[in-house]
Amino acid sequence: MKDHGGNQAGQRDPGDGAATALPPLLARRCRALAEAMDRVVTTPFAVTLNERERGQGLAILHRLVDGVERDLRHYLGAPAEPSAWAAIAPRGLPIANLADVILANVLEHGLDRPGIDAVSPPFIGDDPALASLWTAYLVAECRTRNAWNAPVLPMSGLPLEMQAQLVDCVAGALIGDLGEDGDTMAAMVAAADQVTQLHREETSIEIVAARFVDGALSQRSPDELMVDLVNRAAWPAVAALVGERTGLGSAPSMIALAVGDEGAIRDWLAPACFGANAVGALVRALAPGWNARSFDDAGVAGADADGWPADRADAIAHAAARYRASDR
């Protein structure tokens, strides 16, 4: 069984040879939405994100930032109401691929979901390891939504490197409030180290789904497993399976599935990755969640993240300079 830990959330090796590229139009749509989410807290954008998606993306970001700040203030011995968001919201978070993770979470939430069947799929049979993976998947899937059915992205749902970069950004935003003298900076670096260790475990739905798919493929063909998962509206597992077969990864696959159309999805997945029947079941299930959008079919340039210093003190100082900018 493959290793799905560490920084591999949403980024998996292809199951069979070279990656299967997205059709150009679908790739441009995905990039347009990812860029819009990347800029959701910094600049106005066109019509590629609707108000629900924009609001949910902002809410996820806000909760992540507030949670990290509370942890930092705990270790600093400086309790107070969170304030870093006021500095971060106008300037954004320069963290590569964070927009893709948030966007996949938000778009998955908008897909048609009659409800996951908690009963183990029949092919699991008496296999205790596979049954355990399915149970872990159900638990992780439940944690992607709160009591009001809004999408949730916990800190442990981010890849480890992304967790550390988020901590450094929030620490940099706080430095302006707490002072930038040597003692304060040293205390902030120590607190950031502790917070990063606090969140070292990575238990994202992408990783849990990838582990289940990996195990299930020992019992079912890719086409059979696709139909099983679609029938249960187990979209994170569907994205993991598509990511496995195409080499694209879970999060990019979720985005592509959510913003595609029948022609684009068929061109992408059949027959290179799945048979016609499996893809047919997939597009029929996805169709109710596809929304009419206005896309700019000319190319979309992605937003580049800032370079990330390797040293933690330098990284925090780098973030602090961003949040001291005169135009924030």
Secondary structure of 212-281 in HEC code, one letter for each residue: HHHHHCCCCCHHHHHHHHHHCCCHHHHHHHHHHHHCCCHHHHHHHHHHCCHHHHHHHHCCCCCCHHHHHH
Q: How far apart are CA 139 and CA 117, in angstroms?
A: 13
pLDDT for position 254: 94
pLDDT for position 7: 46
What share of the chain in percent tops pLDDT 90?
43
pLDDT digits (tens, 9 = 90+) for 31-56: 888 887 876 644 433 435 778 888 89
User: For residue 10, what are the contacts with CB-CB under 8 A and spacing of at least 6?
Assistant: 97, 100, 101, 104, 159, 204, 206, 243, 249, 250, 251, 252
What share of the chain in percent tops pLDDT 70?
83
pLDDT digits (tens, 9 = 90+) for 284-308: 999 887 865 555 544 433 344 557 8
pLDDT for position 42: 44
Q: How far apart are CA 269 and CA 89, in angstroms?
A: 38
More confident residue, 13 or 91: 91
CA dihedral sign of residues 234, 239, 245, 249 = negative
pLDDT for position 61: 92
The average pLDDT across 179-206 equals: 87
Q: How far apart are CA 291 and CA 106, in angstroms?
A: 14
Q: How far apart are CA 123 and CA 131, in angstroms?
A: 10
Which run of H or of E encompasses 31?
helix 24-38
pLDDT at 130 over 90: yes
Q: Calculate helix-pair angle for 312-323, 182-198, nearest 10 degrees.
A: 110
Q: Calculate helix-pair angle for 128-142, 205-216, nearest 10 degrees.
A: 150
**Mean predicted lDDT score pLDDT of the chain:** 83
The average pLDDT across 58-76 equals: 94
